[in-house]
């Protein structure tokens, strides 16, 4: 990310992602679901996020529940009556999130069939950032990068991204994407007070290559949320997410980010 934040009046802070023209908000809400249904509806969760100025959503769902979950996402976005240009959507495809549990989770088929299914079931026309979920040793890197670039050319996504790549693979993948005219806009990386491996050279690579950095799990999946007392909902559940969102105030509205 670039060093300068941009803050429209009474709105969320935005920052340029790498050397691209994409500006992303400082907070994004990950939408996902485990094997058990949570008591809080996805629509309520999205409404709460929007009330707090959070208009960026990252979608990932295991393949076994993806169609049902994507239908919930579609319902939540429709209920909020937002124009598509009013919110951001990023998606991770691969690593069990595709249409079927095929080997080669970064294959061309897995990536393109996965994004086709997501767009169909969520009713979205496109996603803002399509992330390759992780480096796949069973799939040639060139195949995966070509599929990402083709998803951009086919208007299924606006920017390609990478997730959980170490420095060497990141440099190779970014070079391939750049050669196709679609350089990586961002790297999604696990980064928190409890998980700081990105500081061992990876952040320097992001700066040098001009790739935006998106911190995943900044609260370490709930482990860093403190002072909640007894009876707090299980980390990762929708009830936990609602409680956590309730503790946040968007910058510029008199509060501080937790």
Question: Nearest 5°: phi and psi at 195?
Answer: -145, 95
Global pTM reads 0.81
Structure tokens at 99: 């249409």
What is the rounded CA–CA span in Å between residue 58 and residue 217?
12
Give per-residue pLDDT as tens, 187-220.
999 888 888 888 999 999 999 999 999 998 887 7
Distances (CA, A) of 244 to 10, 98, 233, 248, 254: 21, 29, 10, 7, 18
- The set of residues, in sequence order, having a beta carbon less than 8 Å from that of 179 and lying 6+ positions away, is none
Q: Tell me the percentage of the chain whose pLDDT exceeds 70.
A: 73
Query: Averaged over 234-238, what is the pLDDT?
Result: 51
Q: Does pLDDT of 221 surpass 80?
A: no
State whether CATH 3.40.50.150 applies to domain 5-246. no
Query: Averaged over 222-231, what is the pLDDT?
Result: 57
Give per-residue pLDDT as tens, 153-169.
999 999 999 998 999 99
DSSP state of 192: B
């Amino acid at each position: 990310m670039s060093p300068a934040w941009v803050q429209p009046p009474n709105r969320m802070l935005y920052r340029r992602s790498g050397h691209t023209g994409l500006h992303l908000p400082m907070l994004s809400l990950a939408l996902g679901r485990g094997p058990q249904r949570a008591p809080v509806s996805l629509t309520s969760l999205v409404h709460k996020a929007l009330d707090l100025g959070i208009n960026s959503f990252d979608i990932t769902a295991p393949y076994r529940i993806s169609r049902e979950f994507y239908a919930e996402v579609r319902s939540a976005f429709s209920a909020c009556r937002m124009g598509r240009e009013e919110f951001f959507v990023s998606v991770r495809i691969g690593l069990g999130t595709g249409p079927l549990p095929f080997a080669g989770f970064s294959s061309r088929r897995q990536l393109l069939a996965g994004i086709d299914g997501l767009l169909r079931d969520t009713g979205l026309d496109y996603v803002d950032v399509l992330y390759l979920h992780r480096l796949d040793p069973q799939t040639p890197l060139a195949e995966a990068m070509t599929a990402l670039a083709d998803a951009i050319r086919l208007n299924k996504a606006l920017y390609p991204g990478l997730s959980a790549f170490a420095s060497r693979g990141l440099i190779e993948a970014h070079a391939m994407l750049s050669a196709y005219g679609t350089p990586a806009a961002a790297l999604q990386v696990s980064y928190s007070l409890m998980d700081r491996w990105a500081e061992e050279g990876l952040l320097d690579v992001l700066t040098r290559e001009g790739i935006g950095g998106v911190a995943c799990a900044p609260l370490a999946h709930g482990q860093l949320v403190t002072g909640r007392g007894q009876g707090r909902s299980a980390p990762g559940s929708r009830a936990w997410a609602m409680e956590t969102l309730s503790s946040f105030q968007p910058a510029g509205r008199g509060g501080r980010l937790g």
